[in-house]
Amino acid sequence: MSGFCIAVNACKSEQQIRYEQFVISGKNLYENHCANCHGKNGEGLRNLYPALTSSSKLGETAYLTCLIQNGSTGKEVNMPANPALYAIDIAQVITYLNDRWGEKKITETEEVAKVKC
Amino acid sequence: MKKAGIFILGLFLLACGRQNRELPYLGPHEVNAAGDSVYHSIPDFSFVNQDGDTLTQAAVAGKVYVADFFFSTCPTICPLMKTQMLRIYDKFKGNDSLMILSHSINPRYDTPEVLKKYREKLGVHSDQWQFLTGTQTDVYKLAQNSYLTSALEDSSAVDEGGFIHSGAFVLIDKDRHIRAIYDGTKEKEVDKLMADIERLLHSR
């Protein structure tokens, strides 16, 4: 059985391994920076904090990057900015969000870094 | 003889069991002139609720209640606390003998209008759960001296939103005595709190 696992793992492409690394790091970041309000399972909190599970914005990298980086004001409930997160962190968070509730594909650091907010 | 021994052992066990189920009285105890223990109790208070009405100790007279301290823009533990408080609210909704008092520790921002919206967004409509604001001095004094928990403004606590406060849920009995304090961010602690509420509701 373990031999089989090793064999399967060995077959994983480098890309697949990198994707999984992004998802795992993204999960940690999500739990530290996002889960308090949006919930461990993206369920949100009633009408106070939006659920992420059925968001139509998960594919919009530029929108998500600016939202995570700068937060949002002007609505009744503000979202705090996350100045401590680098482009790679944001890319990992977005990859994680999509892994769980969107399309299972990596969001590259470069895609995030080139976004102008 | 043997039977009597078992009977006495049984009495002991019964007594111990009772004692374990009784919640303690928290806070400083004093002994009055008659030699009786006087337990710490919540003094009279006056705050403004989400509707702009004044709310005093009269609102909780003869009731069991849970008190906590939060602010509406708190990004750290407040959402966890409110998630757990909603469990209590949902469980005891319709039972007027149980109330919840949530005190804002940022009254400059959390006006009655802000609290009203916050409460609506949480889906809370019953008078059983009141959101209170007042002067900052009053609310900090209340937290520290009356409810034995902490609330402070600290501009260096950037990640916490500028305030430091505990995530405590304080359980008060019908006679305004503190009977237990729980970590309001933990599901298991709140399970215990809900069981203890039942116990207090059914006592005397």
**A30 part of a folded domain:** yes
The partner residues of A49 in beta bridges, in order of sequence, read A45
Tell me which chain B residue has its CA closest to the CA of residue A32. B76
B83 touches chain A (CB under 8 A): yes
Which structure tokens are listed for A116? 């102008």
Q: Kind and range of the H or E element at B70?
A: strand B64-70
Which among B82, B109, B131 is the top mutation candidate for probing chain A, defined by the most A β-carbons within 10 Å of its own β-carbon?
Answer: B82
**A36 part of a folded domain:** yes
Q: For A35-77, write each residue's pLDDT tens digit.
A: 999 999 999 999 999 999 999 999 999 999 999 999 998 666 7
Domain count, chain A: 1
Amino acid at B19: Q
- Cross-chain Cβ contact B86/A80 below 8 Å: no
The pTM for the full model equals 0.84
Assign residue A82 the CATH number of its domain.
1.10.760.10
Q: Which domains does chain B have, with CATH numbers?
A: 40-202 (3.40.30.10)
**A109 part of a folded domain:** yes
**A100 part of a folded domain:** yes
* List of chain B residues whose C-beta atoms are within 8 Å of the C-beta of residue A45: 79, 82-83, 122
The phi-psi region of residue B123 (left if phi > 0; otherwise alpha if psi is between -120 and 50; otherwise beta) is left
**A102 part of a folded domain:** yes
User: Residue B182: exposed, middle, or buried by beta-carbon count in 10 A (0-12, 13-18, 19+)?
Assistant: buried
Tens-level pLDDT at each residue, chain B (204 residues): 455 555 554 444 444 444 446 899 999 999 999 999 899 999 999 999 999 999 999 999 999 999 999 999 888 889 999 999 999 999 999 999 999 999 999 999 999 999 999 999 999 999 999 999 999 999 999 999 999 998 878 888 877 788 888 899 999 999 999 999 999 999 999 999 999 999 999 986
Tell me which chain B residue has its CA closest to the CA of residue A73. B73
